[in-house]
């Protein structure tokens, strides 16, 4: 299985991250999600799920920053279009990102339960996107947490694909 996210010299385009123009942000947050191409999904897959996280945030904030998690995408999905997080162009159940936690305390679900783009405060960060092909749909409701996501996929992963992109300061 393979996953591809378009980049410019290895980095996310400004639209999807810190450099997004004010008109492309919501309450100061970049919320337009990047497009994703998926290929080679194994036979027997019933749904797809993914996580998009920043492990380089650990020295800054003390924990991995969650930017986007989603589950129960159709197994036939080969392309997730730009801004699918907000538009619902692809059916998916989206979980809480790190803005929903106690560190930020965001209560607007348009931000906290959808994609929120990279905003590295100190230097360029590496962002890890991991796609999971699953043998079932997951019993998750909107706003679930990353630990619940990992508990739910345990024993159901048929294949994984991973890519890393850079978010510029």
Q: What is the CATH number of the domain that holds 159?
A: 3.90.280.10
In this prediction, residue 34 carries a pLDDT of: 98
Cβ partners under 8 Å of residue 68, min gap 6: 33, 50, 51, 52, 85, 94, 97, 114, 115, 116
Q: Report how many domains make up the chain.
A: 1
Span 101-112, mean pLDDT?
A: 87
Query: How far is the C-alpha of 98 from the C-alpha of 151, rounded, in Å?
Result: 18
Residue 37 · residue 4 · CB < 8 Å: yes
In this prediction, residue 18 carries a pLDDT of: 94
In this prediction, residue 105 carries a pLDDT of: 82
The overall average pLDDT reported for the chain is 96
For the cut 90, the answer to whether the pLDDT of residue 27 exceeds it is yes
In this prediction, residue 160 carries a pLDDT of: 98
Residue 48 · residue 134 · CB < 8 Å: yes
Q: Which range of residues forms the domain containing residue 10?
A: 2-167
Percentage of the chain modeled with pLDDT above 70: 100
More confident position, 18 or 104: 18
Phi and psi, residue 44, nearest 5°: 90, -5
pTM score, whole prediction:
0.96
Q: Which of 76-85, 96-105, 109-118, 140-149 has the lowest mean pLDDT?
A: 96-105
Q: Position of tokens 């036979």?
A: 43
For the cut 90, the answer to whether the pLDDT of residue 104 exceeds it is no
For the cut 80, the answer to whether the pLDDT of residue 143 exceeds it is yes
């Amino acid at each position: 299985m393979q996953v591809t996210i378009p980049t410019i010299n290895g980095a996310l385009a400004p639209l999807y991250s810190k450099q997004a123009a004010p008109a492309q942000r919501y309450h100061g947050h970049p919320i337009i999600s990047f497009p994703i191409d998926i290929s080679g999904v194994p036979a027997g897959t019933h749904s797809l799920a993914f996580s998009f996280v920043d492990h380089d945030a650990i020295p800054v904030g003390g924990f991995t920053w969650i930017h986007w998690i989603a589950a129960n995408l159709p197994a036939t999905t080969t392309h997730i279009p730009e801004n699918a997080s907000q538009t619902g162009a692809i059916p998916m159940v989206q979980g809480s990102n790190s803005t929903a936690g106690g560190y930020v305390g965001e209560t607007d679900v348009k931000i906290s339960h959808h994609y929120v783009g990279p905003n590295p405060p100190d230097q360029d960060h590496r962002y890890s996107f991991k796609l999971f092909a699953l043998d079932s749909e997951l019993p998750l409701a909107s706003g679930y947490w990353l630990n619940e996501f990992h508990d739910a996929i345990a024993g159901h992963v048929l294949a994984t694909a991973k890519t890393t992109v850079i978010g510029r300061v």
